[in-house]
């Protein structure tokens, strides 16, 4: 997968940023060490 933006950390802020960027048409990838949303 090719991404425009890589968000490191799937906590509430990382997921909110990723969601907004995706809504704007960016290709976003989120990496999280544990579970997303933790």
Is the pLDDT score of 3 beyond 90?
yes
Burial of 18 (0-12, 13-18, 19+ CB in 10 A): buried
pLDDT, residue 33, reads 92
Is the pLDDT score of 38 beyond 80?
no
Is residue 26 a contact partner of residue 5, using CB atoms and an 8 Å limit? yes
pLDDT band at 37; cut points 50, 70, 90: confident
- Cβ neighbors of 31 (< 8 A, separation 6 or more) are 6, 7, 8, 9, 10
Is the pLDDT score of 34 beyond 80?
yes
Is the pLDDT score of 10 beyond 80?
yes
What average pLDDT does range 1-17 have in this prediction? 95
Report the mean per-residue pLDDT for the chain.
93
């Amino acid at each position: 997968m090719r991404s425009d933006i890589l968000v490191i950390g799937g906590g509430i802020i990382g997921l909110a940023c990723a969601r907004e960027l995706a809504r704007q048409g960016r290709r976003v990838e989120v990496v999280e060490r544990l579970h997303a949303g933790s």
